[in-house]
Amino acid sequence: MSNRSVFLLISAAASLVIIIAAVAIGSVAVSPIETISILVSRFTGIQMDPEIPGYRIAIVADLRLPRVLLAFIAGAALSVSGAVMQSVLKNPLASSFTLGVSSGASLGAGSVILFGLSGALHGMLTVPAAGFAASVLTVFLLLRFSRAIDPSLRNNTIILSGMILSLFLNAILTLFSVLSTDGLKNILSWQLGSFALRGMTPVYLLLPLTAAGTLAIFRYRRELDILTFGGDEAAALGVPVRKTKNTLVILASVLTGCTIAFTGVIGFVDLAIPHIVRRLWGPSHRTLIPFSFLFGGSFMVLADLFCRTVYPPAELPVGAVTALMGAPVFAHIYLSSRRSGA
Amino acid sequence: MNGQILVSITDCRAGYSGKTDVLCGVSLTVRRGERLGIIGPNGCGKTTLLRVLAGILPYRGSVRICPVDPDYPHPGEPVERSALTARQAAREVALLSQLSSPVFPYTVGETVLLGRYARQGTGWKRSSTAEDREKVRKALADCGLTSLADRPITELSGGQLQRVYLARAFAQAPAILLLDEPTNHLDIHYQLDILDRTAAGIQRGEPLAVIGVFHDLLLARRFSDTLVLMDEGTIADSGDPDAVLSGDAVNRVYRMNVREALRDLSQSR
């Protein structure tokens, strides 16, 4: 047990190092000491070395820091959300994406982009707000639909309903996008996901939300453990199954919905990270939730760093890169679960 | 204390979401120290009855259980099953289901500790107490799992896995243990192993009574001190296992001479 706490502290420290390194690295290299002094002065107001040129301060504090923090929060939120979905639905391949949450968010954000509503309202917050509202709406629709065909809310019903809903929402978005050729490019770039040029607003909004959501989920760690053994068993062990399942699915969907509303669709992290954490520390949610948070965040920072440094000045879309790395993990989980099932 | 009524079911009816009732008016009582076996053909409602008792299915009629948990507001006073919270009910009733394969590799010890859930604090204050650890240690020992405590359950054989689930039910420390065809998918060694360990539990008074659903009539007879025969959602016969298995009702329900068939099966060729 104390072993795990030590690893948790080490992981937290490593995450901090990765964040600072990612802020320092880029087309304009800033030394670690310079980076730290810029960051410290930004957060505490302490005067920094007057020798540091202004453009470097701007790059570190205004461009890279928001980007790196947003990447970390997004990776953490998506990974925790994925861990919850997999446990609640008893399926290591489940995620908010298979349930249609990302399709819902895409449709919401896409509609705003296509119909040009974003200029009319409050500029940069309209698209995320529409994405978030649509993803929450999707979850409620999913739960209503699943309950209508199967009141006991079996896991396979939820997963299959999610796939149906996902296909349906994607089809609507495709039809919409045919109506407008300009919008198509904007939607595509939104769907690929990015952390660039978002400023500190998303960070200020997402950080408390992700922290609170993760803590709320951590409170349910033992219920999550029990739910992986199935609904009937969980009921017999004393878990109010329907209420708990609903709460957890909504918490996980809100985490994903908020995140992709700001960053665009970034897939497979929510699948791969919890899988790797289970491999390293076992499936208990007392470790799975905090380690998924730290690993998911760090992984996303590194993935984004890779995207912006591998082929400068061009940037690779981070959603495509995570999918490229995640798909083999998906195949691995599927094949190994098939083998153990046989 | 033997003989105290722990469960009394009166005219219980239940079914699955809007369809016709599977359980059409069942009445029975279970007393302290009793091992009640329920048999009957496929679809007779025996598993449905168990699911009602486990709190998985809603029901009409009355299913009263007598809470023995000292922390319950009125221990010893019979209360309707549906009036208990999931948490209160789990302190009185535990369920050992048919063998199912786990999805994630929890260790044997972690799995058995989950049986303590309903007796631990909720929310933030929920670390395991010395009593929890002692109950888990004892449940592991009673099920012959002490040396396997750190093994992942995904690496166990079916028989070992069912022992883990039995240990988890023991750790739950219920008054009533429900068995839902617990020996399905097990080899004969583990079939007897699971039933004997359950019977040994009854001897110690942990649990106080067992209600088991069986397909295998010989195992049902071996385990039970009272046998209930169900047919089409009602009770067709009940009483001493030998008497039930050689009565007319059992032949009618299974549409064959059960006594002769069982004798043929056990005879050497």
Written as one string, the DSSP assignment of A309-338 is HSSTTS---HHHHHHHHHHHHHHHHHHHHH
Burial B33-66 (b: 16+ CB within 10 A, else e): bbbbbbbbeeebbbbbbbbbbbbbbebeeebbbb
pLDDT band for position A341 (50/70/90)?
Answer: very low
Residues of chain B in contact with residue A233, where contact means CB-CB under 8 angstroms, are 95, 97, 100
Average pLDDT over residues A227-236: 92
% residues pLDDT > 70 (chain A): 91
Task: Note the pLDDT of residue B37.
Answer: 95
* Nearest chain B Cα distance for residue A236, angstroms: 6
Residue with tokens 């880029």: A26
CB B6 within 8 A of CB B66: yes
- By three-state DSSP, how is residue B90 classified? helix
Within 157-196 of B, beta carbons closer than 8 Å to A belong to 168, 172, 178
What pLDDT sits at residue B134?
Answer: 93
pLDDT value for A120: 47
- From A229, A231, A240, residue closest to B102, measured CB to CB: A229
Q: Average pLDDT of chain A?
A: 83
pLDDT bracket for residue A152 (50, 70, 90): low
Domain ranges of chain A: 2-341
Which homologous superfamily does the CATH classification assign to the domain defined by A2-341? ABC transporter involved in vitamin B12 uptake, BtuC (1.10.3470.10)
Instruction: Please give the average per-residue pLDDT across A261-274, as a whole number.
Output: 86
Average pLDDT over residues A60-74: 89
Which band of pLDDT confidence, cut at 50, 70 and 90, is reported for residue A158? confident
Predicted ipTM of the assembly: 0.91
Question: How high does pLDDT run on average in chain B?
Answer: 90
Task: Over range A119-135, report the average pLDDT.
Answer: 70
Contact A162, A100 (CB under 8 A): yes
Task: Order the strands of the B60-65 sheet from edge to edge.
Answer: B23-31, B5-14, B60-65, B79-80
Mean pLDDT of B79-86: 91
Task: Quick: pLDDT tens for B205-235.
Answer: 888 999 999 999 999 999 999 999 999 999 9
**Please, what's the largest Cα pairwise distance for chain B?**
63
Instruction: Work out the average pLDDT over A302-313.
Output: 86
CB distance from B104 to chain A under 8 Å?
Answer: yes
Q: Nearest Cβ partner of B104 from A233, A237, A278?
A: A278
State residue B220's pLDDT score.
93
Residue A65 φ then ψ, to 5°? -60, -50
Comparing A318 with A188, the larger pLDDT belongs to A318
Whether B93 sits inside 8 A of A236 (CB atoms) is: yes
Residue B173 DSSP symbol: -
pLDDT band of residue A292 (cuts 50, 70, 90) is: very high
Contact at 8 Å (CB) between B87 and B121? no
With cut-offs at 50, 70 and 90, classify the pLDDT of residue A121: very low
Of the given ranges (A6-15, A278-287, A305-314, B103-112), which has the lowest mean pLDDT? A305-314
Nearest chain A Cα distance for residue B92, angstroms: 10
> Are the Cβ atoms of B106 and A284 closer than 8 angstroms?
yes
Mutation for A interface: B84, B113, B114, B154, most A CBs within 10 A: B114
Average pLDDT score over residue span A25-53: 77
DSSP sequence for A150-166: -TT--HHHHHHHHHHHH
List of domains in chain B: 5-100+175-266 (3.40.50.300)
| pLDDT at residue A119 in the model | 54
Which tens digits make up the pLDDT trace of B25-60? 999 999 999 999 999 998 899 999 999 999 888 899
Q: What is the pLDDT of residues B126-159, one digit of tens each?
A: 677 888 999 999 999 999 999 999 999 999 999 9
Contact by Cβ (8 Å): B178, B96: yes
pTM comes to 0.89
For chain A, how far is it from start to end, CA to CA, in angstroms? Answer: 34
For chain B, the helix, strand and coil percentages under 3-state DSSP, each to the nearest 5: 40, 20, 40
Q: Higher pLDDT residue, A103 or A330?
A: A103
CA dist list (Å): A216 to A76, A251, B13: 14, 8, 39
Q: Which residues of B touch A237 (CB under 8 A)?
A: 90, 94, 114-115, 117-118, 168, 172
Can you tell me the mean pLDDT for B92-121? 91
Tell whether B257 lies on the interface with A, counting CB pairs under 8 A: no
The confidence band for A44, taking pLDDT boundaries of 50, 70 and 90, is: confident
Please tell me the predicted confidence (pLDDT) of residue A342: 33
Q: Do A87 and B105 touch (CB under 8 A)?
A: no
Name beta bridge partners: B65: B7, B79
pLDDT, residue A118, reads 53
pLDDT at A311: 80
